């Protein structure tokens, strides 16, 4: 496939900027991870709160940068014409760099307690988790979303010609800006502030990003596998609707303990129990759509990351989210390391892997590298996948100990008993962070050099194995087998859920015996992550063997 529209090339700079920001985020992540082990590290120079804020903000920003790149790449192809107003995209690019640099600097002001209060608003930084940016950053970001939406809608054909992917992307980019508005005002009541903060955080991730995610996955499936547009459109529509039907009131799972009335516990527990449904649905569809024909898989890394995205969405967002979404489990897991276990897998897994996959799809095409060495990309995938899974496991086990020592026993944190109790798990955060960092390094090297350095080509070895019959681990994948894997994941998910629920037992709560929750966490989390890794391996092996066999014909 060739690049048909020259404005698609504008996406390249966003993908490269995305990689740069990813590296920065990982650097801050390593610092934060090491500070978990030694809280005195860099104290007074780069306090934990600042380093963590940079880590979170850069995480959101590189994913957004990747979204922009992907949308710019996809937009002209979807519309069958050049992007409208490409000069605006140049503006967007430099505004993005300026906004990122400003925000990285401004977050450091928190060490001196400077928020830039003026007219009742914090203009430099506002110290609210996930939306720490001050009004200056917020307004620049809003203008950026406006530009993106404007350009995309002006590029699209007339509405009559839209299919579900057009609708998904259009609603996604418009909602990106609309939801952002709820974070633009200072609220003095803590309960009301948290209420609106989750509008931005929850509805962005579970409403808007998810919609963009589904649409982009759909489009890439059409492009990579010649999947049927109607079938993908069906999946996109029902995926989006299910996300909203469950996620709209599902947001109530953030309103359990923030000072809002008790009835939210009922609504939040009920509706967020349905939140995994669209994820299961998408998971199932990527299986179906990827297996619709025997088209050889030309670009393995792109597909690796897309599978990673859909599977980790299922496991990180779907299952780990499910385990702590009920008032009776959340009362224990709320405000503990259980949350970052879910957060890392869900955010990086779902959205990070998607935009990396999109970059792997677009960058070789943009550079005209038809036959590039795919081994580094696959290596990067496995390193990132295992690194992030390991971090999730460290957080999850540490979080289980934390629920017991901090909540059940009511002991104190620093200098108290929670901090030393977590010692054994803390060390694994930077350790697996390091694995992730290596994966990031490989990824960046590969994406920067693809099609540039002396034409690294696919090694011949891939084709030499072609005569092998496909059986055993790489035999063709059936729907039945996919179902079995899914059920296995959910069985471990339920073990984890009941493990957290067991903190309510009088045996744990009154006698202080943690055997039941500890055992279930010891089985549940590694079981879930192991099944997930095996499933990804199995799925990819079956696809790889399909490439070999298709080529041998």
Residues in 232-251 at the binding interface with another protein, rule: CB under 8 A: 234-235, 237-238, 241, 244-245, 248-249, 251
Contacts of 548 (CB under 8 A, 6+ apart): 462, 463, 465, 466, 468
Nearer to another protein, 195 or 304 (CB): 195
d(CA 212, CA 232): 14
Nearer to another protein, 21 or 252 (CB): 252
d(CA 85, CA 151): 7
Return the residue of 7, 8, 103, 107 that touches another protein, per CB under 8 A.
107
Per-position x/- string for 210-229, each x denoting binding to another protein as judged by CB under 8 A, each - no binding: ------------------x-
Nearer to another protein, 455 or 479 (CB): 479
Phi and psi at residue 122, to the nearest 5° = -90, 115
The DSSP output letter for 345 is I
Residues in contact with another protein, counted by CB under 8 A, come to a total of 91
Identify residues 510-539 at the interface with another protein (CB under 8 A): 510-512, 514
Q: Taking the complex as a whole, how short is the minimal distance between the CB of residue 374 and another protein, in angstroms? A: 31
CB 419 within 8 A of CB 413: yes
Q: Does 105 bind another protein (CB under 8 A)?
A: no
The SS3 call for residue 129 is coil
Q: Taking the complex as a whole, how short is the minimal distance between the CB of residue 424 and another protein, in angstroms? A: 11
Per-position x/- string for 494-513, each x denoting binding to another protein as judged by CB under 8 A, each - no binding: ---------------xxxx-
Q: Which two tokens stand for residue 515?
A: 């055997």
Q: Which two tokens stand for residue 41?
A: 């590290």
Contacts of 45 (CB under 8 A, 6+ apart): none
Please identify which residue in the block is written with the tokens 């400077």. 114
Nearer to another protein, 378 or 407 (CB): 407
Identify residues 189-208 at the interface with another protein (CB under 8 A): 189-192, 194-195, 197
CB 353 within 8 A of CB 436: no
Nearer to another protein, 331 or 488 (CB): 331
Nearer to another protein, 265 or 374 (CB): 265
Q: Taking the complex as a whole, how short is the minimal distance between the CB of residue 303 and another protein, in angstroms? A: 21
Per-position x/- string for 27-66, each x denoting binding to another protein as judged by CB under 8 A, each - no binding: --------xx--xx--xx--xxxx-xx-------------
Q: Taking the complex as a whole, how short is the minimal distance between the CB of residue 89 and another protein, in angstroms? A: 33
Note every long-range contact of 519-527, with CB atoms under 8 Å and residues 24 or more positions apart, other chains counting. Answer: 520/495, 520/496, 521/396, 521/397, 521/400, 521/496, 522/397, 523/492, 523/495, 524/492, 524/493, 524/495, 524/496, 524/499, 525/341, 525/392, 525/393, 525/396, 525/397, 525/492, 525/496, 526/393, 527/492, 527/495
Pairing mode, strands 121-122 and 117-118: antiparallel
Please identify which residue in the block is written with the tokens 């527990």. 269
Nearer to another protein, 7 or 53 (CB): 53
Q: Which two tokens stand for residue 465?
A: 């194995």
Q: How far from each other are the two terminal CA atoms of the chain, in whole angstroms?
A: 22
Nearer to another protein, 174 or 366 (CB): 174
Return the residue of 80, 154, 230, 465 that touches another protein, per CB under 8 A.
230
Q: Taking the complex as a whole, how short is the minimal distance between the CB of residue 407 and another protein, in angstroms? A: 6
Nearer to another protein, 144 or 398 (CB): 398
Q: Does 332 bind another protein (CB under 8 A)?
A: yes
Identify residues 111-140 at the interface with another protein (CB under 8 A): 111, 113-115, 117, 122, 125-129, 132
Return the residue of 157, 335, 455, 483 that touches another protein, per CB under 8 A.
335
Q: Please count the other Cβ atoms lying within 10 Å of the Cβ belonging to residue 48.
A: 15
Identify residues 339-378 at the interface with another protein (CB under 8 A): 339-340
Q: Could you tell me how far CA 10 lies from the centroid of its own chain?
A: 24
Please identify which residue in the block is written with the tokens 């949308």. 71
Q: Taking the complex as a whole, how short is the minimal distance between the CB of residue 226 and another protein, in angstroms? A: 15
The SS3 call for residue 43 is coil
Q: Taking the complex as a whole, how short is the minimal distance between the CB of residue 448 and another protein, in angstroms? A: 32
Nearer to another protein, 193 or 470 (CB): 193
Contacts of 321 (CB under 8 A, 6+ apart): 272, 275, 276, 342, 346
Q: Does 281 bind another protein (CB under 8 A)?
A: no
Q: Which two tokens stand for residue 521?
A: 């966490």
Identify residues 395-454 at the interface with another protein (CB under 8 A): 402, 404-405, 407-419, 421
Nearer to another protein, 20 or 234 (CB): 234
Please identify which residue in the block is written with the tokens 């792109």. 302
Q: Which two tokens stand for residue 64?
A: 């957004």
Q: Taking the complex as a whole, how short is the minimal distance between the CB of residue 344 and another protein, in angstroms? A: 12
Identify residues 259-278 at the interface with another protein (CB under 8 A): 259-265, 267
Nearest C-alpha neighbor of 197 from the set 121, 189, 170: 189
Q: Which two tokens stand for residue 340?
A: 């970052």
Q: Taking the complex as a whole, how short is the minimal distance between the CB of residue 123 and another protein, in angstroms? A: 11
- Compute the half-sphere exposure of residue 145: CA atoms within 13 Å on the CB side of its CA: 23
Identify residues 67-96 at the interface with another protein (CB under 8 A): none
Nearer to another protein, 118 or 473 (CB): 118
Nearer to another protein, 264 or 360 (CB): 264
Q: Taking the complex as a whole, how short is the minimal distance between the CB of residue 49 and another protein, in angstroms? A: 3
d(CA 503, CA 486): 27
Please identify which residue in the block is written with the tokens 């890394």. 301
Return the residue of 252, 290, 353, 435 that touches another protein, per CB under 8 A.
252
Question: Quick one: which segment of 78-86, 184-192, 522-530, 542-550 binds another protein (CB under 8 A)?
Answer: 184-192
Q: Taking the complex as a whole, how short is the minimal distance between the CB of residue 273 and another protein, in angstroms? A: 15
């Amino acid at each position: 496939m060739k690049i048909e529209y020259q404005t698609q090339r504008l996406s390249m700079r966003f993908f490269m900027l995305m990689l740069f920001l990813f590296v920065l985020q990982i650097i801050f992540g390593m610092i934060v991870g090491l500070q978990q082990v030694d809280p005195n590290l860099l104290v007074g120079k780069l306090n934990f709160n600042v380093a963590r804020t940079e880590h979170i903000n850069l995480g959101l920003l590189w994913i957004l940068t990747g979204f922009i790149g992907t949308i710019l790449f996809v937009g002209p192809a979807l519309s069958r014409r050049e992007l409208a107003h490409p000069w605006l995209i140049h503006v967007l690019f430099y505004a993005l760099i300026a906004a990122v640099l400003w925000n990285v600097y401004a977050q450091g002001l928190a060490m001196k307690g400077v928020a830039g209060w003026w007219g009742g608003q914090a203009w430099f930084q506002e110290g609210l988790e996930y939306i720490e940016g001050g009004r200056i950053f917020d307004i620049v970001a809003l203008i950026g979303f406006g530009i993106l939406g404007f350009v995309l809608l002006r590029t699209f054909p007339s509405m009559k010609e839209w299919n579900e992917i057009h609708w998904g992307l259009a609603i996604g980019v418009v909602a990106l800006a609309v939801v952002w508005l709820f974070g633009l005002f200072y609220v003095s009541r803590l309960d009301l502030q948290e209420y609106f903060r989750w509008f931005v955080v929850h509805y962005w991730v579970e409403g808007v990003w998810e919609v963009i995610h589904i649409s982009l996955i759909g489009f890439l499936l059409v492009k990579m596998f010649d999947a049927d547009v109607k079938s993908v459109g069906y999946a996109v529509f029902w995926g989006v609707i299910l996300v909203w039907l469950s996620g709209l009131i599902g947001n109530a799972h953030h309103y359990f303990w923030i000072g809002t009335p008790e009835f939210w516990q009922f609504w939040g527990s009920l509706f967020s129990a349905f939140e995994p449904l669209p994820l299961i649905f998408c998971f199932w569809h990527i299986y179906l759509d990827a297996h619709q024909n025997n088209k050889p898989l030309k670009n393995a890394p792109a597909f690796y990351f897309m599978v990673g995205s859909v599977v980790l969405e299922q496991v990180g967002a779907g299952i780990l989210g499910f385990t702590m979404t009920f008032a009776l489990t959340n009362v224990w897991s709320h405000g503990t390391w259980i949350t970052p276990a879910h957060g890392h897998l869900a955010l990086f897994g779902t959205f990070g892997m998607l935009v990396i996959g999109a970059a792997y799809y677009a960058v070789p095409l943009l550079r005209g590298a038809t036959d590039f060495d795919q081994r580094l990309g696959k290596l990067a995938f496995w390193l990132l996948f295992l690194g992030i899974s390991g971090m999730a496991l460290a957080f999850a086990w540490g979080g289980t100990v934390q629920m017991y020592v901090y909540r059940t026993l009511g002991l104190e944190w620093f200098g108290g008993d929670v901090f030393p109790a977590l010692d054994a798990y803390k060390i694994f955060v930077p350790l697996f962070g390091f694995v992730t960092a290596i994966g990031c390094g490989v990824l960046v090297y590969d994406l920067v050099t693809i099609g540039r350095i002396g034409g690294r080509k696919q090694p011949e070895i891939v084709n030499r194995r072609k005569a092998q019959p496909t059986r055993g681990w790489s035999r063709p994948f059936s729907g039945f087998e996919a179902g079995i894997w899914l059920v296995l994941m959910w069985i471990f998910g339920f073990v984890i859920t009941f493990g957290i629920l067991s903190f309510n037992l009088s045996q744990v709560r009154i006698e202080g015996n943690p055997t039941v929750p500890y055992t279930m966490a010891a089985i549940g989390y590694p079981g879930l992550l192991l099944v997930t890794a095996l499933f990804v391996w199995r799925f990819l092996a079956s696809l790889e063997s399909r490439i070999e066999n298709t080529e041998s014909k």
